[in-house]
Structure 1
Amino acid sequence: MAITFRDKLPDKGPFYHGTRADLQTGDLLTAGFESNYHPEVTMNHIYFTALVNGAGLAASLAKGDGRERVYIVEPTGSFENDPNVTDKKFPGNPTRSYRSQAPLKIVGEVTDWDRLTPEELREWRKKLADSKGAIIN
């Protein structure tokens, strides 16, 4: 079920999005790009989290050669729990992960989060490569 009204949110944020894209405050992040985890999938949603370290993990795993970035974002429309992790992998939403078909507006950038060691990054990439799970798109 999508959440529409900010005053009724179970999670009021702040919200974060991890990427390697070099963007500016005011830019909009949108759906419609290739998945970082399954390149054959074009994403119908833009994903975000209320956990800065979760966004940092996403930035580490993101495609591209740019530096890891974690942006502070505001949803511009309704959003829902990310069904790829919520209840499927983690009952409830302890990862505080969400998705939206509406753009996310960048309102700032965070530079301090727990970064993965090279070994942790290799382990995450191996786990994703070995994953047989489909993305709920």
Structure 2
Amino acid sequence: MEFSPFNPVIKLCLQGMSFEDKGMPEEAAQLFLKAWEDASDDHEKFLAAYYLSHHQKTTADQLKWFETSLKFALKINDDTVKSALPSLYLNISRCYNELGDHEKSKNNAELSELLQKHPSDKGPFYHGTKADLQIGELLTAGGNSNYKSEFKMNHIYFTALINGAGLAAALAKGNGAERVYIVEPTGNFENDPNVTDKKFPGNPTRSYRSEMPLKIIGEITEWSRPSPEDLQKFREKLDNSQGEIIN
């Protein structure tokens, strides 16, 4: 299952988050409720329930929606949602603690800690760029950020989503053709902290980074390209971003 910011339900969640950022919780809650009502598959229901949980007035209702989100996450059981499980279990643990059920709180906290370890994603992995590279070459850390050119990046970034790599290629600086390479990590890697448990629970974009090189083992030529209008919106969002890059 591939996470897509162009999915209608995910767009509603993004709009809801925008209202949260503006200090408009009631408007945000209405959008998250609409996302839940419009959700047509387990992944959409998992996300909508997660956001609804944050807009409940009682701990019991928060717990109900967190457990609903967890139910759908466990049904999906793929790497798109596995990274969200630690956060879900931790929130459920907090709710049980506030409700006085310390045994269930402890059990869920232990599950959260157990799942917080290294990513379980086995790939395949992709890297999007405008650089003309060859199979067998190594991609290494130390290049300039595509989003803040003054940054020298201490890690090399990649994803398990083809379309995500394609979007990265489209947003990359340079005038070359958009290229999506199949890559193989040569060492340990971690969830990209710039996206993990930020706007969305866990790491739904399956974005990772490593201090060790990535080996190019192939190239993809077909992926779903964003429309010019959507691409322009992404560029404007990056240009206007005030957030710091965790490097």
Global fold match (TM > 0.5): yes
Tell me which residue corresponds to 1:97: 207
Mapped partners of 2:208, 2:168: distance in 1: 13
1:33 and 2:126 aligned: no
Mapped partners of 2:126, 2:132: distance in 1: 15
CA shift for structure 1 position 92 = 1.0
Tell me which residue corresponds to 1:115: 225
Mapped partners of 1:91, 1:76: distance in 2: 27
CA shift for structure 1 position 89 = 2.6
Aligned positions of 1:40-59 closer than 5 A: 40-59=150-169
Mapped partners of 1:41, 1:89: distance in 2: 23
Any gaps of 5 or more consecutive residues in structure 1?
Answer: 4-8
What number of residue pairs does the alignment pair up?
132
Please say if residues 36 and 63 of structure 1, whose CA atoms lie closer than 8 Å, have aligned partners that are also in contact: yes
Any gaps of 5 or more consecutive residues in structure 2?
Answer: 1-115
**CA distance change for structure 1 residues 2 and 41 in 2, over 3 Å: closer, same or farther?**
farther
Tell me which residue corresponds to 2:104: none
Tell me which residue corresponds to 1:10: 120
Q: Of the two structures, which has the highest relative contact order with CA contacts closer than 8 Å and spacing of 6 or more?
A: 1
The structure where strand makes up a greater share of residues is 1
Q: Secondary structure at the match of 1:13?
A: coil
Question: RMSD over aligned Cα, in angstroms?
Answer: 1.3
Mapped partners of 1:2, 1:116: distance in 2: 33
Runs of 4+ in 1 over 2 A off after TM superposition: none
Tell me which residue corresponds to 1:128: 238
CA shift for structure 1 position 81 = 0.2
Mapped partners of 2:183, 2:138: distance in 1: 9
Mapped partners of 1:124, 1:27: distance in 2: 29
Mapped partners of 2:141, 2:209: distance in 1: 10
What whole-Å deviation, never above 9, does each CA across 1:84-130 have from its counterpart, x for those lacking one? 00112322111110000100000000001011221111111000011
Mapped partners of 2:158, 2:205: distance in 1: 10
> Letter of the aligned partner of 1:67 in structure 2?
A
Mapped partners of 1:40, 1:91: distance in 2: 29
What whole-Å deviation, never above 9, does each CA across 1:27-53 have from its counterpart, x for those lacking one? 000110110001111100000000000
Q: Secondary structure at the match of 2:148?
A: coil
Under a length normalisation based on structure 2, what TM-score does the superposition of the two structures give? 0.52
Q: What percent of counterpart residues are identical?
A: 73
What whole-Å deviation, never above 9, does each CA across 1:38-91 have from its counterpart, x for those lacking one? 111110000000000000010000011100000000000110000000112322
**CA distance change for structure 1 residues 2 and 16 in 2, over 3 Å: closer, same or farther?**
farther
CA shift for structure 1 position 2 = 7.8
1:88 and 2:177 aligned: no
Larger Rg: 2
**CA distance change for structure 1 residues 2 and 72 in 2, over 3 Å: closer, same or farther?**
farther
The structure where helix makes up a greater share of residues is 2
